Amino acid sequence: MPVSDPQPPARYTWRSVAAGLAALVCAIPIVVALLLGSAGGGSGATAQTTAKFTPLTRRTLSLLNLLVPPGNGSLVAVVEHPAKMRSSPGGRVFANVATHTQFGSPDAMWVVRLSGPWLGVISPLAGNGHVGWIPAADASLSRINWKLEVSLSRRQLTVLFNGHVRERYTIAVGAPDAPTPTGRFAVTDRLTTGDPTGPYGCCILALSAKAPHAISDWDGGYRIAIHSTPETSTIGEPVSHGCMRLTLPDGQWLLDHIPLGTPTLITT
């Protein structure tokens, strides 16, 4: 079952800003006309004035409409309208983007690049090590201050908030024949299992990362996750099918604090 994000940040939509800008642009000629009329009203003569207006170009409008929230946190896009994912800004379409993930969570993606009206995002649709591009007009933007860092050699998960370490957890990682993928990923789903005695414990953070093989007893197919486990003897060992395991209390803490879209960096 998907879990709602704790205290979701304010979102800035491309469409709402566009509407405000359009209203402002439309009001400019009226204001100018009123000013010109008041300037010539004292003489009783009709002023013959030629005003030169510079129209906003398509590129200028797109840059103005792409309102990036202030702050230093990571930029996250939540898909508000079905969209197409492209290999580059305006390039080849290779996937359809829905407003919700396969688990039913809002489709939130870590934004790693900006190009005019396009957002470069981390998504399982793009695959490990690749950036997909979606129109900014189809998403709302917000910032988050959380970050997850995983060291496979140390078998450690570090949780940072505003650049400062909040928690460190020992984790199980992928076995030699099913290694945990490395790279930059993002949290796509926050899920409760309803069965803390099961193989995934109480809590799951699904990631955009994909394994080269399907994971047994897991509805996510090739998707990698950070999840809890009741089998505490496996924690700290390279024994999983690629996922990262931690204790039930640690998994619950992550579920209570980590929002969708949180950047997750996995290194060797």
Can you give the pLDDT at residue 54? 46
Q: Which helix (H) or strand (E) holds 236?
A: none
Q: What is the pLDDT of residue 17?
A: 52
Residue 263 token pair: 């950047």
In three-state secondary structure terms, 221 is coil
CA distances from 156 to 83, 116, 148, 268 (A): 36, 38, 10, 11
Which positions are catalytic?
227, 243
At 85 the pLDDT is 98
Greatest alpha-carbon pair distance for the chain in Å reads: 93
- Written as tens digits, the pLDDT of the chain (268 aa) is 788 777 667 776 756 555 554 544 454 444 434 443 444 444 444 444 444 454 544 444 445 345 788 889 999 999 999 999 999 999 999 999 999 999 999 999 999 999 999 999 999 999 999 999 999 999 999 999 999 999 999 999 999 999 999 999 999 999 999 999 999 999 999 999 999 999 999 999 999 999 888 777 777 788 999 999 999 999 999 999 999 999 999 999 999 999 999 999 999 9
Structural domains in the chain plus CATH codes: 12-144 (2.30.30.40), 146-267 (2.40.440.10)
pTM: 0.80
Both tokens of 41, joined, read: 């009203």
Supply the pLDDT for residue 125.
97
Separation between Cα atoms, residue 60 and residue 74, nearest integer Å:
25
Whose CA is closest to 231, among 223, 219, 243? 243
Six token digits for residue 47: 């002023």
